[in-house]
Amino acid sequence: MAKIERWKSHQLQSVLLIVASLSLFGWIFYLLTALPDSYHAAHWNLAWVGYDLGMSLTWLGTSWALWKKRQAAIPGAMISATFLVVDAWFDVVTSNPGWDFRLALFLALFLELPAAFLLFRFSRNSVRRSIQNAHRQAGIEVISVSLWRTPLAFFDESSGPPERMSGPESITD
């Protein structure tokens, strides 16, 4: 009887993401052909206020993490940058022709997208420095800090399951 190899959780997650992303192409095609060019949305103001509130809270959390020099600044900056890119996109594509469009385009090109670029660059550089510091502290030679080549540390079978931190270093202030 053939032994069936059990998938590891990261392999399963990867396959599920591939299936979801490929399925999304069908949904995108449907939306492209089925949606009208314009639509009057109920609660339009609530949607934008909620989005901007989420963006603002993300910026506040990221700024706190940066101030305190915490690793949470890295995903916070990634999320903040993503908020900015999505906000720029929807501001531009949903703006009325004329002044609204020109203002949305100006803000996207000269404020939102450059700020997103800086936040993404901060995240990338911070992860690279974290990789270098972790290798140095572990006494391992740093061969590459490429995010595409560096394996996720918690999926390294040789190290066993991740240990939970205890003691004073796990206390947050």
Which pLDDT does position 158 carry in this prediction? 54
Which pLDDT does position 9 carry in this prediction? 80
| Dihedral sign computed on CA atoms, order 125, 118, 13, 20 | negative
Which pLDDT does position 171 carry in this prediction? 46
What is the model's pTM? Answer: 0.78
Token pair 């450059």 is found at 114
CB 53 within 8 A of CB 87: no
Domain ranges for the chain, please list them. 48-150
Which pLDDT does position 122 carry in this prediction? 96
Token pair 């290798």 is found at 135
Going residue by residue through the chain, which has 173 residues, state the pLDDT in tens, using 9 for 90 and above. Answer: 555 566 678 788 889 999 999 999 999 999 999 989 888 889 999 999 999 999 999 999 999 999 999 999 999 999 999 999 999 999 999 999 999 999 999 999 999 999 999 999 999 999 999 888 888 888 888 777 788 887 776 655 555 545 555 544 544 44
